[in-house]
Structure formats: C-alpha cells, structure tokens
Structure 1
Amino acid sequence: MKSLWNVKGLRKRGLSLLRLPVLLLPVLLLSGCWNANDVDELDYVNAVGIDYLPEEKQFVVYAQLISFSKVAKGEGNQDVKPVPAWIAEGRGKSYVEAVGRIMANSEHKLYWGHVTSLLLGDTLLRMTNVSDVLESFFRYYEMRYTMWVFGTRDSIPALFIASPNFERTRLGMILHSPEDNYFASSSIRPIRLSRFMAGFYEPYRCVLLPSLSLSKEYWKKNLEPVPSQRISGAYLIQGQKTLGALSMEQLQGLHWLERTTHRAWLDIEEGGEETAILRMRKPRYTIIEGEENGAPVYDLEVSVQGTVSELKRPMTEEELAGKAARLIEEEIRRTYAAGLKLKGDLYGLQQHRYRTAAVLPPRRKAELAAEKLKESSLRQIRVKPYIVSGGKYTLDRYNQR
C-alpha cells in the first residue's frame, strides 16, 4: 500500500511541475509598472501662486506649467523660439476648492512634484488666517519642501509669463533659480519652503520673505523695455503674522548680519561725492547680551572682509576701514529702526535671548523674550572691516596714480 501511495504522490508532483510554466507565462507578460503614467501623459506644474480676493471673498490659485519636451528640444539650438508658459487659474472659498477646480478642468493628470516655487500674494499675506492656507498647501504629499518661497505685490500671472533673457528657459529665472542672483548681489537671502516653515512656527523668530516684482528699468530688447523679475524688498513675518514689508533700501543693514553674504557693495562718499567703492563679503557677527536699568540690551560685534573696487583719491587702509566701519554701523542702525516701526526683530535679538535662557523655567523664559525691543535696546555696534585686497591693483598702486 505504501508503494502505491508513493506512486500516486509522484504523479501529482509531476503534474504540478508541468502546470508551473503555464501558470508563470501570464506573469511574464505583465508590465512591471502597471500603474505608471508616460511622461507625455502628465502636465507638470512648475510654480504655484496663491492670493485672496476680498471683494469676492474667494481664494485664487495660479499654476504655471512649462512643456518639458519643448525645453529639451531647444537645448543646443540657437534659433529657438520662446517657450510659452501656460497658466491655470482656479477660484474657490478655500485653497483646496480652488486647486480642485484646476484639477477638474485639466486635460491630463497634473503632477505637482516638480513645483520649484511658491508665490504668495500681498493680500493673502496680510490676512489673519494665512496659516490655514499654508497648512493646506503643506499637507499635499506631492509637494516638496525644497521649493523657493516669495511674496509679491505685483500680478502673479504677469510674473509667471515674464520672458527670460536670450530666450532661455523660464526655469533659469529668479522665480525658479534665485541663487545666481543672490551670488551676484547679496541682498535678501532666498528662502526655501523647509526653512520658511521652521521660522513661521518658531517663537520670536522674524522670517524675511523676499518680495518679487517686475521692472522695465534694467533690460531692453532692440531698444524696447523688457519686464524682468527682481527682488524689491522683503515681508516681515513673526508670530505667524505678516507685520509689513520693507524696501531694499531699508534693509541694507541685513548684509552685515547674514553669514551667506557673498557680495555687498559699500559706497563711501565725502561731501556728497563718491570717493571709493568697496565690495564686502563674509561677514561674521556676535550678539552680546546684557542689562541696563533692568531692561535687556544688546551689543553687536561685526567683522567683514572688503576688496577695493574703485578709489578716486589716495587713502590708506586704516582710513578706508574707518570710513567703512562708520557707514556699516549707520546701515545696521537704520535697518533696525525700520524693523522696530513694524514691531519686527530683524536681527533675532529676542530669539537670541529666548535661546540663551534655556536653563530657566519655560514661563520665565517666555517673559524675558517677550520684552519689547526699543531703539535703545541695541546699544553698541563695533565693526571691524578688513581690507584684504585692492582688486587687480594694490592700494599703493591706487594711491600713486
């Protein structure tokens, strides 16, 4: 009986082995990515703009889309026509509803994983519930935290359709790639979504949101003015509220308390006439905290390197450094005063006090940090400029002309 059962078992195993190739054949015919979309079946969103329409009590969302296939075909071809920018617009009582209208009326599936820039309108930034809109934006899983964030008073569609110089791709403009512009002239440091989010919710942190605008002042094509993107200032955001906006001229003092500053110009004048131009870089600073009449006071120690770009009269290195130090101190105090008018802590003095009081109980720590800043709170500013180079010439060569 045992031998009979063994024979039957072998037959069953043999039949199973014969059936195995038949069962595996359909599996081999299946695609490995059965739910994937082809590249040409998706529409790629490159930038998102959000604003609020108070008269209609609606949110408006703009999406900028660029055809990657046309961008790729244009590489290496000198006679390329400008690639048009497609803009989708959706409105609704909430940000989610406005985005839903765009997606419902799209011919293809929209892919949001290539968004490199977020543009927030002036009206939206001044709303009290802007944090609700931002939280809805942050929640969508395809959005990446590496995108750049800007504010603007100008028309968002106008910024989206602005043409790049020399018919280049729009992905190289300030909206999508602000680092090159900041490297050339370190005005307001560009901010990514991850750093913006961290500062937005951090206690006593003043976030500077670069303001993007259009200008016809600087570029022309065949003598015809061309609107170009530029950084015109910054919004001050503290305590999850927008305090206001300052122009580039009011924010000159930020150069000297930003470690990433690569190129900041310093014009030295005498009697209303320009006598020297210095290119400053690599500032380093220290905040020294103290008390005076029971109130917190702060001293700043700043050091910065400088290169002579122009010298119109003979000056020694010590004379140049002294004039530069006085001018830098004036700019720091002027920017500090401009921030105080908006109740903003541009230099992070309150945040410094909050962090240094870490050993205290949370309630006492918050009380110390919440003490209002005054103009007298910024006491002494000691600036040490180091003239490290005369450019192509030495200072002696300048003075011998």
Structure 2
Amino acid sequence: MNKKLVMLLILCTVILSGCWDSKEAGRMFYIYGVGVDFKDDEYHLYAQLIDFASIAKSEQPPNPDIIQAEIGHANAKTLNEAFFKLYQSLDEELYWGHLTYLVFSEDVLHAGKVSDIMNTFTRFNDTRYQTWVYATRDSIKDVMLTKPILNKAITLSKLSDPLNSYKQYSFIEPINIRKLIVSIDEPNYEVRLPLVTLTKIWKSEKGSNTETAINGIGIVTPHSFKGFLTNEQISGLQWLSNETIRTGISIDLKPNSSSGNEEKRLSVVLEKNKVKIKPIDTNGDVKFDINVEMVAIVSGFQGNISEPEVQKIIEGEVKKQIKKTYEEGLNIDADVYQLSNQLYRKEAKKWNEIQKGGDIKLTDDSIRNIHVKVKVNSGRKSLKETIGKKLR
C-alpha cells in the first residue's frame, strides 16, 4: 500500500512540475502610456515602454542619465493595424497590464474618434479601467517623454499619478477609462477631459526644465468635440464638484484696489466642498438651483478683517466664478456643469418631455439661484495682524 502511494506521489510530481505557460518578467516589454493622434485619415499610435528594472527598487533612478522610457510610433488606417506594426518591431512580448494613461490629440477630439478608440482599448483583456485619460494640444511624443522634476521616476509623473497632487490642489478632476465610459454613455453627458500642456516653471543648475501641467479641459461627446476651456475660464468648476478635496483663492479686499497689492489681498484655503443641484419646473421651463457649502481657512492677509467680512467676500467670489464658467460653457454650446444629466437623473419624465436629440436647451437664465454658504475657520479668535505695523 505504501509503495503504491509513493509511486502515485512521484507520478503527480512529474505531471505537475514545471510551468509551461509561465512568462518570464525579463522577457517582456511593459507598455505604460499610449498617445493617439489622427491625421490624413490615419491613426498615429505612440506607445511608451518603461524600464522597471531601473526604477523598481527606488523612487529615483540611481543614474540621472539613465533612459527610463522609449516611445514607439506607428500609423495605420485602424488602431489594431498600428498595434500590429509595433508588435513586429519588438524583440519581446508586449504586456498591457501596466498601462497607466492615455493621451488624445486635438485632432482625435475634432474627428470624434474618442468612442472608437475606447471600444478598441476595452477589448484588450489586460486593459485596466483605472487608466487615466487626457487631451493635449502639444506634441504627444514630447508630453510622454517629459520627466518629473528632481529626476523622480517617470512612474511618479502627473500623468501616471494625478491624484497625488489633486489632494493638495483640487482644480480639475482626473478622469479614468471607467468613468469616461460610464459618462459618455449617458444621454447628453459631456465628458470633461483634462488638458495637458507643457510648461517651464522650474529651473535647475542645468537650466529650465519642461514639466507637464493641467491647464484646462476639453469637452467631448460620443462623436463630437465642443472645444477647450482654459483654467481661467473654468474657475467655477471646482465649486460644482463633490470630489473637490482642497483648493484656494485670493481675493481683493477692496474691489478698486490693485490686484498686485499684497496688502489688499485675502488668501484662503477651501475644503469640505458639498454641492447640491436641484432642477425646478417653472411653468414648463426648467431652471436649476445650486447650493454650495464649504469651509474656508484663512491662510494670508494684511490688515484687520472680521470673519463675517471674510465670509461675505468668499461667497461673492465663488458665486461670481460659478456664473462665469457657466457662461463660458454656453459660448461653445457646452453644458459644462452637466445640468442636463442632473435633470435626467432626478426628473427623467420631464427630461424626456423637453429633450431634443438628448439635449435640453440651456440659456443665460437657466440657473435660477446660486446659494453659497461658507464657514470661516480663522485658526484663532480674531482676524487681526499677528505683527502690527509701527508708526514712524
């Protein structure tokens, strides 16, 4: 009996030994980012391969001159054909499980190709729905080759980890593939893609560095593109999102004062944003009431000012920014606050009555009321200067 058991164990060991279908990590290339352009009726695919061997053990590569990534380019009538061209040029198998971000060019948006591209990518078994999505007006290749400042690993760039900086300054909400697909499938749901730009703000002993920054949004529908809005045009967007974690504004204490005069400026940090949008049926016409609540922490000012004054100033400024951004959206025929979707979710019957082709007509007075409530936290009993000015 024991001999039979031993022979059975030996046989099982022979049969089960080995991993015939295993893949060696060192015998694969890892695709980390993809950029898509569309010119002359052809897709231009940019694939970023990343070398995890040089950055896996540290957040900072040991050698500042080491090549962390390479960009491959292929063009074809379809995305799949472009992929196959890339496969033919590679020495190893390409692994898609680490794809972290997608970048669409302005031409892709104008051509209405976002839905087609999403349909292609989501058919890959290894596609992660947490992959971040962006738009850009700049060279896709230059955007994808931009390194973080201080020679940080390219895996820590703004494109691959937007939530890291969003926690400190929540201006434009990042969007991933899952949210894009859910949003774009809704009736009249316009998607706001973060607009990536190249900028030069930081310098080192070697000169100016090129960094990526989010400087606006591109508004797309399933098969059309409404246009871009810059940061200056969408300042009100941050107040109409419950995802806003922390942001800030600076305001003139006196409307007629020079904006460059620090002594007449108030700076505050705003947190705990809560938004409620309520559609109101007024004799067959739909209006919207917007209620916003937040906490303000005074971070900088000169002169003495009371909490009620701070509250009034902030509430007025936030209300003004909400109105301005709404008007900027109307200028490009965009529902920047997705008010139509609010009506669809809360009053579907009314939405069906007034919608035309999935759209509801928005006008300058579609927003009936904007109510902003700010709770001021000065961090001390009074808003007086810590160090007063001496008279001479």
TM-score (norm 2): 0.90
CA pair 397-51 structure 1, distance change in 2 beyond 3 A: same
Closer, same or farther in 2 for the Cα pair 1:139/1:365, shift >3 Å?
farther
1:34 equivalent in alignment to 2:3: no
Q: Does 1:244 align with 2:233?
A: no
Rg larger for: 1
1:104/1:319 CA distance change after superposition, 3 Å: same
Gap change, CA 1:73 and 1:277, over 3 Å in 2: closer
Opposite residue 52 of structure 1, the aligned amino acid is: F
> Shift in Å at residue 241 of structure 1?
2.4
Counterpart contact for 2:60–2:151, Cα < 8 Å: no
Corresponding residue number in structure 2 for 1:180: 164
- Aligned-partner Cα distance in 2 for 1:374–1:226: 44
Partners of 1:51 and 1:123 within 8 A in 2: yes
Say which SS state the counterpart of residue 181 (structure 1) adopts. helix
Is residue 34–residue 103 contact of structure 2 (8 Å, CA) maintained in 1? yes
Which of 38, 45, 59 does residue 52 from structure 1 map onto?
38
Distance 1:302 1:18, change over 3 A: closer
CA contact (8 A) 2:54 2:61 kept: no
Distance 1:397 1:312, change over 3 A: closer
CA displacement at 1:17 relative to structure 2: 8.6
Query: 1: distance between equivalents of 2:288 and 2:172?
Result: 24
Q: 1:357 Cα shift?
A: 2.1
3-state SS of paired residue (1:204): coil
Please tell me the residue identity of whatever aligns with 2:21: N
Give the corresponding residue for 1:171: 155
SS of residue paired to 1:72? coil
* Aligned-pair CA distance for 1:60: 0.7
Counterpart code for 1:64 = Q
* Aligned sequence identity (%): 28
The code of the aligned residue for 1:61 comes to L
Contact 2:115 2:223 in 1 (8 A): yes
In 1, Cα distance between equivalents of 2:357 and 2:198? 42
Residues of 1 paired with 2:156 and 2:199: CA distance?
17
CA deviation map 1:291-332 (0-9, x unaligned): 345321112111111011111221111111111111111100
Work out whether 1:303 is the aligned partner of 2:296: no
d(CA) in 1 for partners of 2:374 and 2:54?
49
Contact 1:152 1:211 in 2 (8 A): yes
Secondary structure (helix, strand or coil) at the match of 2:184 reads helix
The corresponding residue for 1:267 is 250
For residues 229 and 58 of structure 1, do their structure 2 counterparts lie closer, same or farther at Cα, with a shift above 3 Å needed?
same
Q: Distance in 2 between matches of 1:245 and 1:35?
A: 48
* C-alpha distance in 1 between matches for 2:113 and 2:63: 48
Contact 2:304 2:384 in 1 (8 A): no
- For residues 316-355 of structure 1, the aligned pairs below 5 Å read 316-355=306-345
Which whole-Å deviations, capped at 9, do the CAs of 1:197-227 have from their partners, x for residues lacking one?
11011112221110111101x1111161110
SS at structure 2 position matched to 1:96: helix
Distance 1:365 1:376, change over 3 A: closer
Match of 2:134 in 1: 150
The number of residue pairs the alignment matches comes to 381
Report the residue type matching 2:249 in the other structure: L
Q: Partner amino acid for 2:378?
A: S
Work out which of the residue numbers 363, 369, 385 in structure 2 matches 1:380: 369
Question: Amino acid of the residue matched to residue 272 of structure 1?
Answer: S
> Matched residues in 2 for 1:183 and 1:40: separation?
35
The aligned counterpart of 2:98 is: 114
Kept in 2, the 8 Å contact 1:204–1:350? The answer is yes
> Which is further off, 264-273 or 285-294?
285-294
The more displaced of 68-77 and 337-346 is 68-77
d(CA) in 2 for partners of 1:184 and 1:236? 25
Report if the CA contact (8 A) 1:252-1:331 is conserved: yes
Judging changes above 3 Å, is the alpha-carbon distance between structure 1 residues 239 and 291 closer, same or farther for their aligned structure 2 residues? farther
Is the Cα–Cα contact under 8 Å of residues 74 and 80 in structure 1 kept in the other structure? no
Which 5+ residue runs of structure 2 have no aligned equivalent? 259-263
Look up the match of 1:395. Answer: 382
Alignment root-mean-square deviation, CA: 2.6
- Which residue of 2 is the match for residue 6 of structure 1? none
The Cα offsets for residues 145-195 of structure 1, whole Å up to 9 and x where unpaired, read as 011111111111101111221211100000100112212211100111101
* Matched position secondary structure for 1:124: helix
Larger deviation, residues 36-45 vs 349-358: 349-358
Change (3 A) 1:336 1:24: closer
Deviation at 1:368, TM superposition (A): 11
Task: Please give the secondary structure, in 2, of the residue aligned with 1:174.
Answer: coil
Paired with 1:380 and 1:361, the residues of 2 have a C-alpha distance of 20
Residue 127 (structure 1) aligned with residue 111 (structure 2): yes
Once the 2 structures are TM-superposed, how far is the Cα of residue 264 of structure 1 from its aligned partner? 1.9
Other-structure match for 2:78: 94
- Per-residue Cα deviation, 1:354-374 (whole angstroms, up to 9, x for no partner): 12223x398537569733100
Pair 59,314 (structure 1): closer, same or farther in 2 beyond 3 Å:
same
Q: Give the C-alpha shift of residue 18 in structure 1.
A: 10
Change over 3 Å in CA distance of 1:361–1:396 after alignment to 2: closer
